[in-house]
Amino acid sequence: MMQAEIGQSQDDTFFTIHSQEALGEEWAPAVRRPGRITGPPLPEAAAAKRQRGAPPAAPADPEGLLRPQSAAGDAPGLNGAASPEARAQALGGSATPAASPLPGALSTGVAPQNCTVPFNDSRVLLVTVYSTVCLLGLPANCLTAWLTLLRARQGHVLAVYLFCLALCELLYIGTLPLWVVYIQNGHRWLLGPRACKVTAYVFFCNLYISILFLCCISCDRFLAVVYALEMRGRRHQKTAVLVSVSVFVLVGLVHYPVFQMEDKETCFDTLPMDREIAGYYYTRFAVGFAVPLSVIAFTNQRIFRSIKRSSSLGAAQKAKVKRLAIAVVAIFLSCFAPYHLVLLVKAIAFSYYKGDMGPVCAFEINLYTVSVVFLSLATVNSVADPIIYVLATEVSRQEVSRIHKGWKKWSMKTDVAKLTYLKGAEEARSPT
């Protein structure tokens, strides 16, 4: 009697497994039902074989899945007493089969709606860089603004661009403490959406105003060196002021849509990007970086060639012009090139994945640390501009030396007055 029940259980199991493979996925619920099969009619040969009572050939069972459950507590087999969940688990699957991914889909393990970025990994770096730039850049740019203002009042055209650049850097440095607080709070902006937009607006404007003023400086040096005779008497401060105002207005109008961005808990940490942001990255790279790079490369190459061929310039003058040209190229490439290359790579990745948020999000998370490092380089520009452009020139060094001597002389006078006062006070307290 026991052998008949076991044979009947294996018989049901065999047809349960093979009818599922033959009939397709839509009949899986009926086939996996315990007991007799209630799906469509079985093949005629199999039905005839069952009527004759001949047991079917046992399928291969290397793992012993078809053994009946024993009283010793073995793992349950695929007999009629097993539940549907146990049957599915014994077959190597789950009770609910997982949907297979589409062909060509990339499994990233990142849900598009939950693109969590490891902000804490970059917290120390960003706070350190922003704090250092603020401490060094504030006095350096204040000094630069004062020195260039003195030079501009003497009629120097280049000083106009340097003065406007210093003012722009001071405005951006004033927002760095807000970014430090934002990063320390885990990239949660607690000062209101309006303050976030104003701070981000200053950042974007400072970035591209700096780039355009580097172009202005290169073009001014190009005209003054390469076309020295033709431009003599034609370079005026009014033209430099007009160009500077145009730069401020143009960049300000281009970035005005920042105030129309959607309010979020974070402040312009747009992850993952969408189609609009990807297009914005392409535009920033092409117009904000590639075009200025072409201008700077062309003008400074002509400056170097003109200096090499010139016989009217002395060695000191050639060194001064060459130093300024090298400074322009070095600052532009080191501070702005890496940041814009990351923007381009992100936009290309979005186009490559055709906007699939899963792969795009995973890619941006993997690239986040690199983006933070390159963003820090763009911020260091606020310190590099005054040090290289102004303090590297002979006149500026003389001005700084004069200021240092005046401060030292004033400090010595203060110390003498303090010592005289203390000596007089001691004499007054001493007995006669």
Query: Tens of pLDDT along 284-336?
Result: 999 999 999 999 999 999 998 888 887 777 777 788 888 888 888 888 999 99
Flag whether 415 is in a domain.
no
pTM, to two decimals? 0.65
Flag whether 358 is in a domain.
yes
Residue 30 sits in the same domain as residue 136: no
Q: Taking phi first (over 0 means left), then psi (-120 to 50 degrees means alpha), and beta for anything else, what does residue 262 get?
A: beta
Flag whether 411 is in a domain.
no
What 3-state DSSP class applies to 336? helix
Flag whether 381 is in a domain.
yes
The last residue of one of the domains, among 355, 374, 389, is 389
> What's the CATH code of the domain at 328?
1.20.1070.10
Residue 333 sits in the same domain as residue 237: yes
Instruction: Please check whether residue 166 is in contact with residue 210, taking contact to mean a CB–CB distance below 8 angstroms.
Output: no
Residue 250 sits in the same domain as residue 369: yes
Task: Tell me the C-alpha distance between 84 and 76, whole Å.
Answer: 12
Give pLDDT tens digits for 215-230: 998 999 899 888 888 8
Confidence check: pLDDT of 417 > 80 = no
Flag whether 90 is in a domain.
no
Mean pLDDT within 380-392: 75
In 3D space, the residue among 207, 121, 174 whose CA is nearest the CA of residue 380 turns out to be 207
Q: Which of 53-57, 75-79, 415-419 has the lowest mean pLDDT?
A: 75-79
Residue 234 sits in the same domain as residue 327: yes
Flag whether 94 is in a domain.
no
Task: Tell me the C-alpha distance between 243 and 217, whole Å.
Answer: 11
What 3-state DSSP class applies to 311? coil
Residue 299 vs residue 267, higher pLDDT: 299
Residue 240 sits in the same domain as residue 136: yes
- Residue 216: per-residue pLDDT: 92
Flag whether 210 is in a domain.
yes
User: For residue 403, what pLDDT band results from cuts at 50, 70 and 90?
Assistant: low
The last residue of one of the domains, among 358, 373, 389, is 389
The last residue of one of the domains, among 389, 404, 421, is 389
Residue span of the structural domain in which 303 resides: 121-261+271-389
Q: Structurally, how many domains does the chain consist of?
A: 2
- Residue 318: per-residue pLDDT: 81
Q: 101-110, 157-166, 365-374, 416-425 — which one is most confidently predicted on average?
A: 157-166
Flag whether 41 is in a domain.
yes
Residue 58 vs residue 414, higher pLDDT: 414
Count of helices and strands (H, E) across the chain:
16, 0
Residue with tokens 């490369």: 297
Residue 321 sits in the same domain as residue 236: yes
